């Protein structure tokens, strides 16, 4: 037995990246709002600012891109279209998404956008492999 395809392992790594982002954004937001708000019914939204807001936006962006990436990885796997293109595409997605919240948090111009494009290029590569 060889275990799951590397692309599926990279997809699992992307899930870990998403979980880390969720926890990071939540902890940062709770640091601003306090435990009273976090433990309450949350009837009123708690606006966050600064780094906590950037982490929240980065996580929301992850939630927009991850389903698309996961779908094309699964389609490529089921269609037996795995190749160097899907492997590198999966790796680029994970690396880009891992650096996106870091670059967003430190607010260095263009780095966040670069990380987003790296991840997006990975998804495009996997999608392209399906049609080759």
Residue given tokens 């880390």 in the structure block: 20
Q: What is the pLDDT of residue 1?
A: 56
In a domain, 103, yes or no: yes
In a domain, 70, yes or no: yes
pLDDT tens-digit series, residues 63-118 = 999 999 999 999 999 999 999 999 999 999 999 999 999 999 999 889 999 999 99
In a domain, 104, yes or no: yes
In a domain, 1, yes or no: no
Nearest CA-CA partner of 129 in 80, 68, 64: 80
Nearest CA-CA partner of 32 in 55, 62, 59, 58: 55
In a domain, 96, yes or no: yes
Domain that holds residue 123: 6-41+50-131
Q: DSSP class of residue 80?
A: T
**Which CATH number do you get for residue 127?**
1.20.120.550
In a domain, 35, yes or no: yes
pLDDT tens-digit series, residues 72-84 = 999 999 999 999 9
In a domain, 68, yes or no: yes
Total domains, the chain: 1
Distance CA 104, CA 111 (A): 8
In a domain, 11, yes or no: yes
State percent of the chain over pLDDT 70: 97
């Amino acid at each position: 037995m060889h275990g799951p395809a590397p692309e599926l392992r990279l997809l699992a790594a992307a899930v870990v990246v998403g979980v880390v982002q969720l926890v990071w954004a939540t902890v940062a937001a709770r640091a601003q709002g306090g435990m009273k708000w976090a433990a309450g019914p949350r009837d009123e939204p708690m606006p966050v600012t600064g780094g906590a807001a950037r982490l929240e936006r980065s996580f929301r962006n992850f939630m927009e891109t991850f389903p698309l990436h996961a779908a094309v990885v699964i389609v490529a796997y089921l269609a037996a279209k795995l190749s160097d293109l899907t492997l590198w595409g999966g790796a680029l997605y994970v690396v880009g998404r891992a650096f996106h919240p870091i670059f967003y948090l430190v607010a260095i111009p263009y780095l966040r956008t670069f990380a987003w494009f790296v991840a997006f290029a990975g998804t495009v590569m996997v999608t392209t492999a399906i049609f080759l």
